[in-house]
Chain A
Amino acid sequence: KQEVTQIPAALSVPEGENLVLNCSFTDSAIYNLQWFRQDPGKGLTSLLLIQSSQREQTSGRLNASLDKSSGRSTLYIAASQPGDSATYLCAVNSYNQGGKLIFGQGTELSVKP
């Protein structure tokens, strides 16, 4: 059974710092991995989707990498801003789950001015 873990559960950084959020998964037979952002009281917004054949995806100040063999993905946020404060979730779509996404519990990020 696929399990997705995100560590740390919470992170606080000063504005301007570059930071890395981690996601690990137990079954490397995946179709893809998605990173989402969730603001308090809101739904999830998809940030980046990495297919299993890709190593990384970039969107603006965000860069997500994928290492299937080690069961890891990282979300790199450059030059963090207070507006980046939110919970970041990763979700894995694996063969053995029949196409259903399995979510991690998220990292709550706070960027202090």
Chain B
Amino acid sequence: NAGVTQTPKFQVLKTGQSMTLQCAQDMNHNSMYWYRQDPGMGLRLIYYSASEGTTDKGEVPNGYNVSRLNKREFSLRLESAAPSQTSVYFCASSENWGNEKLFFGSGTQLSVL
């Protein structure tokens, strides 16, 4: 049972490049999330999908887009990467929205030069 799988684990981009972070869960969870973790700022919610077919902005959505491809997969896209988006990105899932235990992926270390 893999849980939440994120790819890639590491990525280096130049300013202005685009990329997509992939996330898949095999727990049949309805809700999925993207967080970023920065020193001194803690974990902050970027976007979430409470259920298949819905997506909503979190605390820091600017510069990102998401797609809930199906119940298993939730991707995060950076259209034009900026140095301020250098961070560790985590995908997470829960059985349902709002009141459930969260399961996290192992993270993507992204550097934007």
**Interfacial residues, chain A to chain B (CB-CB below 8 A):** 31-32, 34, 36, 41-46, 49, 51, 89, 91, 93, 98-101, 103-106
CB-defined contacts of A42 to chain B, threshold 8 Å? 106-107
CB A30 to nearest CB in B, in angstroms, measures: 10
Q: By the criterion CB–CB under 8 Å, are B43 and A45 in contact?
A: no
Q: By the criterion CB–CB under 8 Å, are A31 and B98 in contact?
A: yes
Within 8 A of A (CB), among B72-113: 90, 92, 97-107
A34 to B106, CA, bound (A): 18
CB-defined contacts of A45 to chain B, threshold 8 Å? 104
Q: Knowing A43-B104, A46-B102 touch, does A100 contact B59 (C-beta < 8 A)?
A: yes
CB A12 to nearest CB in B, in angstroms, measures: 20
Q: By the criterion CB–CB under 8 Å, are A103 and B42 in contact?
A: yes
Top 4 A-B residue pairs of the complex, sorted by shortest distance between their CB atoms: A99-B98, A43-B104, A103-B43, A44-B104
Q: By the criterion CB–CB under 8 Å, are B43 and A93 in contact?
A: no
User: Per a CB cutoff under 8 Å, which of A41, A46, A100, A104 touches B101?
Assistant: A46
Q: By the criterion CB–CB under 8 Å, are A32 and B42 in contact?
A: no
Task: Add 9 more A-B contacts to A34-B102, A42-B106, A99-B50 (CB < 8 A).
Answer: A36-B102, A43-B104, A43-B107, A49-B101, A99-B97, A99-B98, A100-B45, A100-B58, A104-B42
